[in-house]
Chain A
Amino acid sequence: MDTMFSEAELRIVNSVASYLSVMSKHLPDDVFDRLSEMRKNEKNDGAKAVYDCMFKNLDMAVTLDRPICQDTGLIQFFIKAGSGFPYLANLKNILTEAVRIATEVTPLRPNAVDTFREKNSGNNIAVGSPWIEWDIVSGSDDAEIEIYMAGGGCSLPGKALVLMPSAGYEGVAKAVLETVCDRGINACPPLIVGVGIGTCADSAGLLSKKALLRGVGTENPDKDAQKLEKMLFEGLNNIGIGPNGITGTESVLDVHVEFAAHHPATLAVGISVGCWATRYGRIHFNSDLSYEIKTHGGVTL
């Protein structure tokens, strides 16, 4: 890579590269805990055997120091950067270099295929890869970086559709139930279901991904959104999709709803799902580059 990094910038590069590697081999605590609970709740023998295999796999990933799943995803970063974060100007290059290093060292699977030319770039670096979304926080001088390994299997069911307002929130609920029961059953359930509601396909889609990453067990602070989350969670679990879609006691790890205002003439819904091995993480850098990892307890880089 042509970009030169300062010593401090290289510290961020190396921290993020190490964290990507850790994330590929260890589930975040919230996903692990809920999956353990679902394993305990499971009554179907075939489904129990699948949960057993999942936990054996998680153990072996740690013991053998290997990625949990071969699909380590296309790397996505969601950044909340303070306008005064000292490394903001070069952050895109820093994160890109971290992905290049993690791909080689871990190793992560190269998943960036050049669109139209249809050639795998071989190092996860290509146009729009890694994918980066920015929120700038005025007056702050730290940065929180959320990372998602967007696997193919769990990206396939994703959709955004713009309903007419007459479809109402029942239209939203129907779209979620149908998506999970159709393509969702192939996406390595139990799933985390992220639902975004807004005006357009783009805003609803982005909100659905942010919902997916909110943390298993968290609730939207809005009471109506909470109600929709709870109804979808119970409804989907009553369908009994089971691990890997082979039927079972429950279906989903969690359902999260995030929303923005919608235009009076549209009601857009975005749906993103994460597999049972949802690999996401959140790392918070202070301006002195001390950091805190919020999703993987006990991990140091």
Chain B
Amino acid sequence: MKKVLTTPVKDEDIIDLKAGDTVYLTGLLVTSRDDGHRRLVADGIMPEIDLKGAGLYHAGPIVKKLGDGTYQMISCGPTTSMRMEKFEKDFIRKTGVKVIIGKGGMGQDTVDACKEHKAIHCVFPGGCAVVAADEIKEIKGVEWEDFGMPEALWILEAVEFGPLMVTIDTHGNNLFAENKKIFNDKLETEFDKMKSALKFGH
């Protein structure tokens, strides 16, 4: 059965989740990338929208402005989460977001913040931007539009947004860090196998 989290997400909704689990998110989802994180954390400016218990989506969508002043979501896949690592710990502390969604892994500061403030990081399948757009039922508003379309804070209503694979849980586990160890071990093995065959011209 689908495990669906609904905003505002509470601590008890996510403390049993483990890295590797698959979940979906319904409710308030707000996009923020490099510029949004910098403004909120480094410049200390808070958006008007209350993000407590909300989903934070690392994404820079293609949005079409319709004639009546409303917006249509066209394409909205995840962006590389690691770019936000420098600011994420403070972003979580200052906003109370519970479900961070992006692609690829994040670092130890985010792991620590997820443990301390009870939050999770998940990946949405990268590049699957039309599927993602289809699961966003409404664009409720936008803040910080001065950053341009990709970097603005788009305020979204999501319905069963996913599949989301949990990569960082509330217990200090980090799936991508674990995978990286596996890949690096295998890298050494593979490199040793090819090394002696790479003596071109000598």
Q: Which residues of A contact B (CB under 8 A)?
A: 46, 49-50, 53-54, 56-57, 60-61, 64, 66-72, 107-111, 113, 119-120, 122, 152-153, 156, 168-170, 172-174, 177-178, 181-182, 185-188, 224, 227-228, 231-232, 235-236, 238-241, 243-247, 275-277
Q: Which residues of B contact A (CB under 8 A)?
A: 20, 22, 59-62, 64, 74-77, 79-83, 103-105, 123, 125-131, 133-134, 147-151, 163, 165, 175-176, 179-180, 182-184, 186-187, 189-191, 193-195, 197-200, 202
Expressed in whole angstroms, the minimum distance between the Cβ of A106 and any Cβ of chain B is 8
Q: Tell me the bound Cα distance from A227 to B22 in angstroms.
A: 40
Expressed in whole angstroms, the minimum distance between the Cβ of A138 and any Cβ of chain B is 32
The answer on a CB contact under 8 Å between A152 and B79 is yes
The answer on a CB contact under 8 Å between B191 and A240 is no
The answer on a CB contact under 8 Å between A239 and B187 is yes
Q: Which residues of A contact B165 (CB under 8 A)?
A: 46, 246
A60 CB contact (under 8 Å) in B59, B130, B183:
B130
Q: Tell me the bound Cα distance from A182 to B148 in angstroms.
A: 30
The answer on a CB contact under 8 Å between A50 and B103 is no
Q: Tell me the bound Cα distance from A254 to B80 in angstroms.
A: 22
Expressed in whole angstroms, the minimum distance between the Cβ of B160 and any Cβ of chain A is 14
Q: Which residues of A contact B79 (CB under 8 A)?
A: 71, 152-153
Given A53-B163, A69-B75, are A224 and B80 also a contact pair (CB < 8 Å)? no
The answer on a CB contact under 8 Å between A60 and B131 is yes
Which 10 residue pairs across A and B have the least CB separation, nearest first?
A186-B104, A120-B148, A188-B126, A235-B190, A70-B75, A57-B128, A169-B198, A60-B130, A53-B125, A70-B129
Q: Tell me the bound Cα distance from A20 to B80 in angstroms.
A: 24
Q: Which residues of A contact B62 (CB under 8 A)?
A: 66-67, 70, 72, 107-109
Main secondary structure on A side of the interface with B: helix
23 A/B residue pairs, CB under 8 Å, sorted by A: A53-B163, A60-B130, A66-B133, A67-B129, A67-B130, A69-B77, A70-B61, A71-B129, A109-B61, A109-B149, A109-B150, A153-B79, A177-B187, A177-B191, A181-B184, A185-B104, A186-B105, A187-B104, A188-B127, A231-B198, A239-B187, A245-B105, A276-B127
